[in-house]
Amino acid sequence: MTQLQEVSVDDIKHLVSERAIQGETVLLNMGPQHPSTHGVLRLLLELDGETVVNCIPDIGFLHTGIEKNMESKTYEKANVMTDRLDYLNTVGNNLAYSMAVEKLVELDVPDRAQSIRVILAELQRIASHLIWLGTTGLDVAAMSTFLYCFRERESILDILELCSGQRMMTTFIRPGGLWRDVPVEFEAAVREFIKIFPRRVDEYEALLSRNPLFLDRTFGIGTVTAEEALNFGMTGPPLRASGVKWDLRKARPYSGYEQYDFEVPTRSEGDVYARYIVRIEELRQSLKIVEQALNKMPLGPVRSSDHKFVPPPRSEIGVNMEALIHHFKLWTEGYSTPKGSIYNAVESPRGELGVYLVSDGGPKPYRIHWRTPSFDNLQALPFMAKGVLVADLVAIIGSVDIVLGDVDR
């Protein structure tokens, strides 16, 4: 049997109310191994009966030091680590990183690669939202949604596996383009998904959107106004659910998003239900983008031909001396980048995913900082959780859609 330990609360005294010190309210530990905290989030709750008086998040259980590790890898090799940040948005992380490096060394990306990037990033967004939908359903006791969502997610992971050989950690998008062209089966697989998916979204909506039990658990809970959301640095669906039409794909289009016709869904209520509606609508919009990008996908190369930065094709290495030299230089020393620093942001399923990259002119990043959306979105949790029931707190955590790999880095 484990022994009970005395724990000091001195260093968090200023975060709890006076009543907790006097013993009127209870301090309760929730997590880090709690299924509804979506990973290893630990919350210290101050409870008055079942009402949350204060909520103190404790993060860092999944801190892997990726930013420090990347400083010791060349630009090409550091790409592999980006998958491990936000493990539900691996393609999006590759995209953010590759775009940052391309901006730093001024590398052009062929059109075909841009189209495939958009298709994969949007499929990944759908997969990420499906996980969110399934787990949020579980949080508010709607078991069956989870099973349906994971069925569709599996077909997206199959498409990713078809392209890259990996279901999750793809590292398919590289600085200068893609790892390789997509196989011939790709188009048919995506078309099949486009055909079945709209009906499936209607099915999820039929299960939840007008379900009185779901409405009871989500309507008017965890409300944040637009001004508060911006002040807390929230981005992505939680911000759009509060009525701010802010989506980097529309505001500062990248990778050719300006060619595609899609809406940015917003709601004004800012509660759990509004975030649900916004994400459901985003599923449909993402599918619209995938279809347009697939129709427009041009033929051509998928990698930049600047072999100072992008490895030459394998077939050339045997016959071309320059190609062999480039290959050797790229895989031993890596490429040097101009001195300077840039900030580049893309829209991940959770919000603004930014990369701040500092180069000292060498082949390794001098410093790389990841602006991860979950980190800022989670900060608003204590504010949203004030005065709600513990059961509602679970729904609120679900609605923010945090990924702890994204929070802790």
The footprint of other proteins (CB under 8 A) covers 11, 14-15, 59-60, 63, 65, 67-69, 71-72, 103-104, 106, 230-233, 235, 244, 246, 251-252, 340-343, 345, 352, 354, 356, 358, 366-367, 369, 371, 375-376, 379, 408-409
Taking the least distance from each CB to other proteins, the nearer of 100 and 156 is: 100
Whole-Å CA distances, 120 to 16, 78, 94, 185, 193:
45, 20, 11, 15, 13
In angstroms, the CA 25 to CA 48 distance is 5
**Strand partners of residue 54:** 46
Report in angstroms how near the CB of residue 224 gets to other proteins at its nearest: 12
Q: What is the dihedral of CA 406, 74, 248, 374, to 10 degrees?
A: 10
Nearest to 48 by CA among 18, 7, 72: 18
CB of 71 to other proteins, least distance (A): 8
Cα distance between residue 273 and residue 205, in whole Å = 12
Please answer whether residues 21 and 379 qualify as being in contact, where contact means their C-beta atoms are separated by less than 8 angstroms. no
Closest to other proteins by CB, 235 vs 399, is 235
Give the nearest distance from C-beta 11 to other proteins in angstroms.
6
Would you say 115 or 372 has its CB closer to other proteins? 372
With beta carbons less than 8 A apart as the criterion, state whether 253 and 400 touch.
Answer: no
Residue position matching structure tokens 């493990």: 87
- Minimal distance, residue 18 CB to other proteins, in Å: 16
Nearer to other proteins, 146 or 375 (CB): 375
Nearer to other proteins, 352 or 401 (CB): 352
Smallest gap from Cβ 340 to other proteins, in A, equals 5
Cβ at position 376, least distance to other proteins in Å:
5
Q: Which is nearer to other proteins, 64 or 144 (CB)?
A: 64
Neighbours of 43 (CB within 10 A): 23
